Structure 1
Amino acid sequence: MNTRLMAALMLGVATATLGPVACDMAATEIASTPGTEIGIRKDWMDISAKPGDDWYQYANGGWLAKTEIPADRSGVGGFWIADQQTEKNLEALLSEIVASNPEEGSEGAKVKAFYQSYLDTQAIDAAGMQPIAADLARFAQISDKTALAQVLGSQVRADVDPLNATDFGTENLFGVFVTQALKGGEVVPYLLQGGLGMPEREYYLSSDPKMAGLRTGYRQYIAELLTAADVADAEAKAQRIFNLEMKIAQAHASREESDDWATASSLWSQADFAANAPGMDWDTFFKAANLDEYQTFDAYHPGAITKLSALVQSEPLDAWKDWLAFHQINSHADVLPSKLDQLHFAFYGKQLFGQEQQRPRDKRALAALNEYMGDALGKLYAEKYFPASAKTEIQGMVDNIKTAFANRIEALDWMAPETKAEAKKKVETMAVGVGYPDIWVDYGNLTIDPKNPYASVLAAERAHYQQQLGKIGKPLDKNEWWMNAQLVNAVNLPVQNALNFPAAILQPPFFDAKADPAFNYGAIGAVIGHEISHSFDNNGAAFDSTGAMRNWWTDADKQKFDEAGKALAAQYDTYEPFPGLNVKGELTLGENIADIAGLQASYDAYRASLNGKDAPVIDGFTGDQRFFIAYAQAWASKMREAALRQRIATDGHAPAQYRALTVRNMPEWYAAFGVKEGDKLYLAPDQRVKVW
């Protein structure tokens, strides 16, 4: 498993006893009964803080004071809480499978074999480098650039998503992603830049001293890993690999360029690759990648593809052979001898993300199963832990928030009627998956070797790749899922005009069937609104209701939209978690637009759910207060400095403490907490951003 891709939003909990803030809004006090429990965590709060001066401390100060980041984590918070409960549920399911005697060849038998072999580190250590020996020999035998193209093609996997701001890419030179072309209606393979061992090009090219230190550490790590793998001349090879990766990084498009979908995407025929990107033997490459029968590709990083192909021709064959060997070892260190796995963690876990300890092997085994046989576990998880009543309630909230968003579109005074019509159509036709997919992945063709977890991982990678290739040329499936049911997350799929809300996020602290609607709309409702709003952020707004990228805006409408985006980017540019290191407003703009638009739509839906009645006061908190506190507590977060710096440098998501400050743009927040001019977080009405 490629653990360098697991940077994250890992969040957690603490306790303290604190009371509500005083409020001028009158309502009726009611007892906490099923359906009306407060939902928000009063013990997470610090009411000594003034909401208008330090909103994050007010909502989460008690939690921040008492919470410790576990040694095996780079951060903790709300997502982590939900993930911990999901892990417990999955461990219970796995215990049942392991204790049973599943039918040979069944999914249960494959899950059991994969899990047990991954846990058997004694057998893994005894096998040594034998499981990977054939692959390393294959690389060593490369004799010319045609043979190199064949191997590079054979390494291609469906392991990257160009539209996912948190996806750091692939260690293979190129990655593949299969969906509808951005600039055409056909389902095609996307070809994307790859080839780096650190998260992205900034780690190689930035002048920041901390980045320079990571480069030194990475160069040393390459040599140590090769030495531990008994590779001869490790020091010299490490230098060649590092030098090659510096050139690969220079060839890459930047994160900002990659996130500009309109310019990043370019339709190429298969023949165009030889003309536009000379250097690679493309015929050989495509045949080895099982892509030779397809004629149309989305060359998602066209400039990078051209430059990387030129490097294939210009750089020494030995450098490429060394680079291939290192990355095959590096990306599968968890199923190779423990000394390699430990070195991998020492760099990626400790040095890159600040983790103090490696996660326990059983937790990592579960994570590997989620990655390679996710639907097999997801089916069992959904059956046992996601009741139909929860699915129905969430679907109702989705419908309400979609309606609220459509109403907000209709109320815009600056948007032309024809633009409004397409925007509303986009909301109305949005496919929303709640809990789990209608059709689960079939693992019938996947072979799991109970004595060779390395071989099992490679087999799972190939099986997933073949499943993705099977979609090419077929009609787009709007209902395809891109997340496991047991994943604490949510996603907007602009090309499908669809959303996925996995079952695992539909639990506390995001959703509680017993809680008052104010809590659920402020927590999971804001997540739902966020994902809906991604269809209308600075990138999502480029797609129409069918998922095609086209300009459906008038020039005047687009100008107004862009002005709001610039104002929001400027607002986030002012946030400075470390001296001299500011949040990148432009890099995080899409997520920030989705945050504010989603929170506003969810608030409207919450108010509409009251049917004109006053919200009850529960434990001294008004409905509006509970709504906004629930939102801020969903973003409770503590991260190690290294992980936080990494996020600011490369991630399309702003740090959680600043996402909680989205409320500064909503007049309802000012009214709910009596925030006035002179308070530190106060924004004058003309400075508050309203995008939708």
Structure 2
Amino acid sequence: MKKQVALTWTLAAGLVLTGCATSTPASDTTATAASAPTTATAEPTIKGVGIDVADIDRSVEPCEDFFQFSGGNWLKTNPIPAYASSWGPRNLLGDRTQALLRQLLEEAAANTSAEKGSNAQKVGDYYASGMDSMAIEKAGTTALKPELARIAATKDLKSLPATVAYQQQLGTGGFFRAGVSPDRKNSTVYAVNLNQGGLSMPDRDYYLKDDARSKAIRDAFVTYMTNTFQLIGDPAATATKKAAAILRLETRLAKASKTRVELRDPNANYNKMTVAAFHQQFPTIGLPTILAQNKLGTAKEVIVGQPQFFQELNAVLKTESLADLKTYMQWQLVSSVTSALPKAYSDEAFRFAQVQSGAKQQPVRWKRMLAATDNTLGEAFGQLYVDKAFSPEAKQKALDMVANVKESMAEHIQTNTWMSDATKAEALKKLNALRVKIGYPDKWKDYSALNIARDSYLQNVLNARKWNYQQNVQKYGQPIDRNEWSMTPPTINAYYNPPMNEIVFPAGYLQPPFFDPNADDAVNYGAIGGVMGHEMTHGFDDQGRQYDSQGNLRDWWTKADGEEFTKRAAVVGTQYSAFSPLDSVYVNGKLTMGENLADFAGLTIVYAALQKQLQKQYGNGPRPKIDGFTPEQRFFLSWAQLRRTNIRPEALRQQVLTDPHSPGQYRTIGPLMNMPQFYEAFGCKEGQKMVRAEADRAKIW
């Protein structure tokens, strides 16, 4: 896994974007369509679209292991490519999407007569400069030298904040994360957020755990740093000393960092204080200087995510030698741009990534540059993508599905048996206020101030970082921009944004096999419908439920209802913590809580929406089998087939440690094991592995 660079002052620190996940317990509502008996099916069987019948492993009973039953043959015949650490349907869709995007980018790169300053010129030149490996080799670190010189010129502790501020503008990820995003307790205004960061490895535990695998990763990290410093020109002894200093410094930051589970508590990570109070408590950080230099000098208050971290950061800046602090900033800068440096640098980065993910080889250069161009200019060529890949008819069908799922969610809230009327009223108010974004932005991003040329890819990367920073900080003091997207149109993903109370589905996700206008409703509701329900119910998971209809962090639950929700959610946490994908490796039910809740709640809500859709289509008459399966069976098969995943052991260990999503096999079976609707669809009986005893089932919506 490549180093995650904190887009400091550009990434909305404190903004919670919840992507595709897993979810809550089974329905505890009064009788609804979701629990109605399955209508008799009619013959003859007809052939359908969307379910790969050949991928089903019929040697496995669906009620014993639905993950293997639904896609066991696919798992056997789809090994992980050498360049990947895991492989599933999303990767296959990614390949198709990449083929189209590559065509668009190569056409843009070939168009050397595009009007200067136009999106076409910027997209073409950015991609072309990234693909020109000979020019990158020849340029070496030339464009980086002024930035390294700026760090080297830092003379004393007093001048350090100005250097840190500039590194923030460059998005190197050094020391801490900061950015402008909506105030989570007053979502009508933007706030400056400060959060823990500064680590090169994916998680604090990589620095602190003493098991053999963690030690091996740390050793590989030291080797990566040592070799990179030698590439820059340091003698071996100096490079070794520098690597040791960085590991020591980052370990101090890791010890002061909250765990990923602790970071899931939005109230505990909201600590508003005046800039003056922050400076009084943590004077060495020099926040007033940093804010002034980064065009946020008018800010009088900041929201501090983790005060204890900043206490330690203040101590680090005060007690570590200036030479080591400069070495750390040098490392953060260089390691954040290895993809734009000569091959020797990116090879070192990949060798370290291999130890973490198990990938055998790097993706080819055009794939890496495509991803980089999408990340930097995604809304520029995203306009071309949606013209070719996303029809108005597809958008309307997706909107209709969301409306049906929303209606089903409202009914589940209204008929909920354990929630009080007062809490139900607030929940319905939040649901009704939910904003839905489908496909692409109504207003496209303006790239006019971004300078991109064909002569230096590294300079383009640095220019884009600075521009991105400007885009973020200029929001401060302005009205909230509710048209903004946090994903580009080709992205194969979706998210729920609590402060905006919105669900967002890029066009890239609304393609087969996730969404197919030619497939029957059961398939689409089990696939993209499951994602829609998932994102919608994120607004009511253990984190999302703490935000109100306007996106404010406010407790709108009665005390009794909040306690009951927590008790019911804990059942889900216990269930998932018992799942073990590898020997001695267990899913973290607390880290994955929100995603597990959203999977289960979303699937329950969407199943009911499908039943209403089928009722409209067939009434009380027979419902045809397709591919030999009832609509209900196809719904669950569609859900499962999109989560079939082969994953390398190294990547699986990393996922369990760092990812709020459970592994694919447990995202598949976890919700179903609690759903009577699933038992009925496949005739499951008590005692079978996919059937939890009634007393052990999770029941929320």
Q: Do both share a fold (TM > 0.5)?
A: yes
Comparing 485-494 with 254-263, which one deviates more in the overlay? Answer: 254-263
User: Does structure 1 residue 181 correspond to structure 2 residue 183?
Assistant: yes
- Residue 33 of structure 2 corresponds to none
User: Does structure 1 residue 638 correspond to structure 2 residue 646?
Assistant: yes
- Residue 538 of structure 2 corresponds to 534
The 1-side partners of 2:510 and 2:684 are apart by: 32
- Residue 475 of structure 2 corresponds to 471
The 2-side partners of 1:297 and 1:62 are apart by: 54
- Residue 229 of structure 2 corresponds to 226
Partners of 1:5 and 1:199 within 8 A in 2: no
* Within-5 A mapping of 1:303-318: 303-318=308-323
User: Does structure 1 residue 620 correspond to structure 2 residue 628?
Assistant: yes
- Residue 193 of structure 2 corresponds to 190
The alpha-carbon distance between structure 1 residues 544 and 387, as it changes in their structure 2 partners (threshold 3 A), is same
Secondary structure in 1 aligned to 2:43?
A: coil
Q: Of residues 575, 584, 588 in structure 2, which corresponds to 1:584?
A: 588
- Residue 303 of structure 2 corresponds to 298
The alpha-carbon distance between structure 1 residues 2 and 331, as it changes in their structure 2 partners (threshold 3 A), is farther
Amino acid in the other structure paired with 2:498: P
Structure 1 position 2, deviation (Å): 5.7
Secondary structure in 2 aligned to 1:155?
A: helix
CA deviation string 1:351-397 (max 9, x = no partner): 11111001101111101101111111211111221000000000000
Structure 1 position 235, deviation (Å): 1.1
Amino acid in the other structure paired with 1:184: N
The 1-side partners of 2:43 and 2:381 are apart by: 44
- Residue 16 of structure 1 corresponds to none
Q: Of residues 20, 23, 27 in structure 1, which corresponds to 2:41?
A: 27
- Residue 678 of structure 2 corresponds to 669
Partners of 1:576 and 1:583 within 8 A in 2: yes
Structure 1 position 618, deviation (Å): 0.7
Secondary structure in 2 aligned to 1:227?
A: helix
* Within-5 A mapping of 1:257-656: 257-348=262-353, 350-610=354-614, 611=616, 612-613=619-620, 614-656=622-664
CA deviation string 1:288-341 (max 9, x = no partner): 332222222221222212221221112111111101111111110011111111
The 2-side partners of 1:604 and 1:138 are apart by: 60
The 1-side partners of 2:175 and 2:446 are apart by: 29
Amino acid in the other structure paired with 1:326: W
Q: Of residues 657, 662, 676 in structure 1, which corresponds to 2:665?
A: 657
The 2-side partners of 1:271 and 1:435 are apart by: 44
* Within-5 A mapping of 1:31-110: 37-100=48-111, 101-110=113-122
Amino acid in the other structure paired with 1:691: I
Partners of 2:180 and 2:192 within 8 A in 1: yes
The alpha-carbon distance between structure 1 residues 361 and 152, as it changes in their structure 2 partners (threshold 3 A), is same
Secondary structure in 1 aligned to 2:87?
A: strand
Partners of 2:56 and 2:72 within 8 A in 1: yes
Partners of 1:46 and 1:62 within 8 A in 2: yes
Structure 1 position 129, deviation (Å): 1.9
Amino acid in the other structure paired with 1:223: T
CA deviation string 1:16-49 (max 9, x = no partner): xxxxxxx99731236758xxx3421112210110
The 2-side partners of 1:179 and 1:578 are apart by: 39
CA deviation string 1:517-571 (max 9, x = no partner): 0000001000000000100000000000000011101111011100111100000
Amino acid in the other structure paired with 1:665: N
Secondary structure in 1 aligned to 2:624?
A: coil
Structure 1 position 476, deviation (Å): 2.4
Structure 1 position 272, deviation (Å): 2.2
The 2-side partners of 1:38 and 1:338 are apart by: 44
- Give the gaps of 5 or more residues in structure 1: 11-22, 160-169
Partners of 2:226 and 2:239 within 8 A in 1: yes
Partners of 2:542 and 2:594 within 8 A in 1: yes
Partners of 1:29 and 1:616 within 8 A in 2: yes
Secondary structure in 2 aligned to 1:680?
A: coil
The 2-side partners of 1:5 and 1:664 are apart by: 38
The 1-side partners of 2:261 and 2:396 are apart by: 39
Partners of 1:431 and 1:479 within 8 A in 2: no
Partners of 1:477 and 1:496 within 8 A in 2: no
The 2-side partners of 1:478 and 1:683 are apart by: 43
- Residue 168 of structure 2 corresponds to 156
The 2-side partners of 1:157 and 1:405 are apart by: 43
The 2-side partners of 1:276 and 1:597 are apart by: 43
Q: Of residues 245, 259, 262 in structure 1, which corresponds to 2:250?
A: 245
The 2-side partners of 1:119 and 1:595 are apart by: 40
Amino acid in the other structure paired with 1:666: M
CA deviation string 1:146-187 (max 9, x = no partner): 22111111111597xxxxxxxxxx732122233211122321
The 2-side partners of 1:379 and 1:30 are apart by: 44
Amino acid in the other structure paired with 1:155: Q
- Residue 688 of structure 1 corresponds to 697
- Residue 13 of structure 2 corresponds to none
Secondary structure in 1 aligned to 2:115?
A: coil
Secondary structure in 2 aligned to 1:586?
A: coil
Structure 1 position 475, deviation (Å): 2.8
- Residue 27 of structure 2 corresponds to none
The 2-side partners of 1:180 and 1:171 are apart by: 21
- Give the gaps of 5 or more residues in structure 2: 7-18, 21-36
Comparing 46-55 with 525-534, which one deviates more in the overlay? Answer: 46-55
Partners of 2:2 and 2:349 within 8 A in 1: no
Structure 1 position 5, deviation (Å): 6.8
Aligned identity (percent) is 37
- Residue 140 of structure 1 corresponds to 152
Amino acid in the other structure paired with 2:118: S
Partners of 2:110 and 2:124 within 8 A in 1: no
- The TM-score normalised by the length of structure 2 is 0.92
The 2-side partners of 1:625 and 1:134 are apart by: 62
Compare relative contact order (CA 8 Å, sep 6+) and give the higher one, 1 or 2.
2
Partners of 1:203 and 1:211 within 8 A in 2: yes
Structure 1 position 278, deviation (Å): 3.3
- Residue 254 of structure 1 corresponds to 259
Amino acid in the other structure paired with 1:674: G
Secondary structure in 2 aligned to 1:28?
A: strand
The alpha-carbon distance between structure 1 residues 281 and 312, as it changes in their structure 2 partners (threshold 3 A), is same
Partners of 2:53 and 2:627 within 8 A in 1: no
- Residue 162 of structure 1 corresponds to none
Secondary structure in 1 aligned to 2:186?
A: coil
CA deviation string 1:242-266 (max 9, x = no partner): 1111111112111111111110111
Secondary structure in 1 aligned to 2:609?
A: helix
- The TM-score normalised by the length of structure 1 is 0.93
The 1-side partners of 2:131 and 2:360 are apart by: 21
CA deviation string 1:183-204 (max 9, x = no partner): 2232112111111110110111
The 1-side partners of 2:83 and 2:104 are apart by: 23
Partners of 1:597 and 1:690 within 8 A in 2: no
User: How big is the alpha-carbon RMSD for the aligned residues of Structure 1 and Structure 2?
Assistant: 1.9
- Residue 200 of structure 1 corresponds to 203
The 2-side partners of 1:582 and 1:375 are apart by: 39
The 1-side partners of 2:179 and 2:544 are apart by: 18
Comparing 37-46 with 430-439, which one deviates more in the overlay? Answer: 37-46
The 2-side partners of 1:275 and 1:410 are apart by: 50
Partners of 1:171 and 1:327 within 8 A in 2: yes
